[in-house]
Structure formats: C-alpha cells, structure tokens
Amino acid sequence: YVIVMVFIGFHLSHGIWSMFQSMGLSHPRYTPAIKKFAAVFSWVLTAGFISVPIAVLTGLVR
C-alpha cells in the first residue's frame, strides 16, 4: 500500500503540474513555483494517506 501510494504521489504531482499547463497557465516565470506547489501539495496528501496504515501498524491507532 505504501509503495503504491508513493507512485500515486509522483503521478499526482505530474498531474497537477500538467493541469496548469493544459489550462494555459504555464509561463517560464511561474513554472518553478507551479512545480513546487504541485510537489508539496501531492506529497502532503500522500503523506496523509500513508500515515494511516503506519499509525495502525505501529499501534498509535487501534
């Protein structure tokens, strides 16, 4: 599950960046910020989904 979620995180990061590009909001000046936003947002979301099974396995949640 955790490994698959990491791959989904990569996919989501690329998808968010591509969404801005498809909507015509891609500009060389803003591309680094858009890529950083996509990466941070997707990894925060991925970490949240990964934290649930980790918490259960470590006994933090019953």
Which helix (H) or strand (E) is 61 found in, with range? none
Q: How many CB atoms lie under 10 A from the CB of residue 28?
A: 6
- Please tell me the predicted confidence (pLDDT) of residue 62: 83
- CA 19 – CA 25 distance, rounded (Å): 9
* pLDDT band for position 49 (cuts 50, 70, 90): very high
- Please tell me the predicted confidence (pLDDT) of residue 42: 97
Torsion over CA: 49, 53, 54, 60 (sign) = positive
- CA 19 – CA 26 distance, rounded (Å): 9
Domain count, the chain: 1
Q: 16, 40 in Cβ contact below 8 A?
A: no
* Sequence letter at residue 43: W
At 1-48, the pLDDT tens digits run 999 999 999 999 999 999 999 999 888 999 999 999 999 999 999 999
Statement: residue 51 has pLDDT above 90: yes
Whole domain around residue 11: which residue ranges?
Answer: 2-58
